[in-house]
A and B are shown apart, each in its own frame.
Chain A
Amino acid sequence: VGSETPHTDASVRSCRRAQDPLRALALRASEGEAAAIRELVLELGGPMLRTVRKVLGVGHPDAEDVAQEAVLGLLASLSSFRGDCSVSHFAHQVALRRALHARRHFKTRDKVGDQELDLEGPSDSGEHSPLALSISRERRRIVRGLLDELSVPVSEALALHFMLGYSVSEIATALDVSQNTVWSRLKLGKKSLQKALASDRKLAELLQERPS
């Protein structure tokens, strides 16, 4: 149960390339064609910005700048993009890595930390109670904080899993490591996360308020 087929086979990769609607556009953009760059950024810039927000927190004052850097990073790396995943996936990964790097950089400047809790205002969602939203927000804060503490490989695997919803095989492809390595990193990360969640006083208080 749960075993996943690694998609590193050349034929599968070739098929993926052919099926990727953004592949041709990305190739043109990698050659510096202005119209293609514009179109590609218009297509992927939004999702990349939102990925950055997931990592930094909604409302983070540097989210746009980091997203802009990620977009430029994507364009710069397109020429070496092998097509192991879709261009869209690749863009998400670039954005996520750039944002994780930015987090660590900001941390040294004390720009992120507990204060990010305030950056995410109350959602206007009608689906969840205010308590559920608070719990969710607190858990996000804990995850983000942990990403700064864990080693880069583990935090990348964890972020790809929780923030982008990647499967183990997708993470393995993104990080160019084996699925067993991903399992190990996720295991380490989840263990740390469980500890962090269990030891957070504020989250515990919120969870106590939740009706059983």
Chain B
Amino acid sequence: MKDCQGQLLQRARRGLATAQEQTALESHLSSCESCRMSADLMGDFDSVGEAEPGDYERVAAMATYAVGVRGRRAPVPLRGSRFPWRLVLAALVVTGAATAGVVRFAQEQRSTIEAPLPKPPGPVPHPVSAPLPASLPSSDPTEAPTPEPSEKPISGARGAKGATSPSRAPSSGVSTTAVSAQALYRDANDARRAGRSSEAVVSYQRLQRDFPGAPEAHAARVSLGGLLLRSGSASAALTQFDAYLATGGGQLSAEALFGRAQALRVLGRSAEEAQNLRRLVSNYPKSAYATHAQRRLLELR
């Protein structure tokens, strides 16, 4: 049962096979059970390799966490042990009121250690991180990801590396408002990732209510829209996606358009759904959602 046409099958899957090779492969597949099984099963797994709505934020959160764990400013030795930066971070997240005290504590500790204190992981990724090149998973693992079209930042703070939340913070010191918005967003994202959807919805809504101008509140619209959509509140979800797009969108515009299309589908507004999908394909042809959109457009014809 030698996998006799393995190389040809790979070339065909990667779009490299000539017409002649393609014909030879098809002929071979009709007679070789082993290669046919390979082709079928590879195809089966290709179909589950597409990006899911929300992947942008998931990966951005992974990046932030990885920087915190593996970055150069990760835990440094403190009297034979490691500085408890995670505990400091947890304290920051749990209560904004504790922030000043924790920072003061950290500053006091700074004089006792050789290396500088580790920075806690930055704010929740979306509002401040670099754009994620959302790429469709390729059946060819060697194919390089395709970058998503870059977009204008939604505020002056966005896109700046290491920038924190909104510039409406007080002129000096740590912005309690900014930290709280970030903490709320982080809590909401954590809850969403952990499957605690109701808790996440409450946090996102509180973020929007208490910090309407914060970039986190803007980004939260897409996550919240997704959660509402999955919970069956398509109209409320549509409102969130519309609000995100109406205020200039951002790095999640493709995802917001995709979510909007799904909401419209649930609501039975097919014409608008198709229009929205065409916009998605047109504006973000290389985004992870373009393939989904094109397939749905075919269904809607």
- Interface residue? B2 (CB, 8 A): yes
- CA gap between A202 and B71 in the complex, in Å: 49
- Interface residue? A33 (CB, 8 A): yes
Given contacts A88-B141, A162-B42, contact A124 B295 (CB under 8 A): yes
- Interface residue? B246 (CB, 8 A): no
Contact of B3 among A88, A139, A186, A191 (CB under 8 A): A186
Contacts of B7 in A (CB 8 A): 1-4, 167-168
User: 1/0 per position for A31-60, CB-CB distance to B under 8 A?
Assistant: 111110111011101110111011001100
The residue on A at minimum CB distance from B301 is: A126
- Interface residue? A130 (CB, 8 A): no
User: 1/0 per position for A159-192, CB-CB distance to B under 8 A?
Assistant: 0011111111010000000000001001100110
Contacts of A33 in B (CB 8 A): 71-72
A125 CB, min distance to chain B CBs, angstroms: 5
Contacts of B52 in A (CB 8 A): 53, 58
Specify the main secondary structure of chain A where it touches its partner: helix
The residue on B at minimum CB distance from A194 is: B37
Given contacts A2-B7, A162-B38, contact A123 B47 (CB under 8 A): yes
Given contacts A71-B62, A127-B295, A140-B44, contact A2 B3 (CB under 8 A): yes
B119 CB, min distance to chain A CBs, angstroms: 9
Contacts of A143 in B (CB 8 A): 41, 44-45
- Interface residue? A64 (CB, 8 A): yes
- CA gap between A183 and B45 in the complex, in Å: 21
- Interface residue? B156 (CB, 8 A): no
Contact of A42 among B8, B13, B40, B133 (CB under 8 A): B133
Since A50-B50, A162-B45 are in contact, a sample of 10 more A-B pairs with Cβ atoms closer than 8 Å, ordered by chain A residue number, is A2-B3, A42-B133, A46-B132, A49-B55, A88-B144, A125-B47, A162-B41, A170-B141, A187-B3, A194-B37
Residues of B within 8 A of A (CB): 1-8, 10, 13, 33-34, 37-38, 40-52, 55, 58-60, 62-67, 69-74, 129-130, 132-135, 137, 139-142, 144-145, 161, 193, 195, 288, 292, 295-296, 298-299
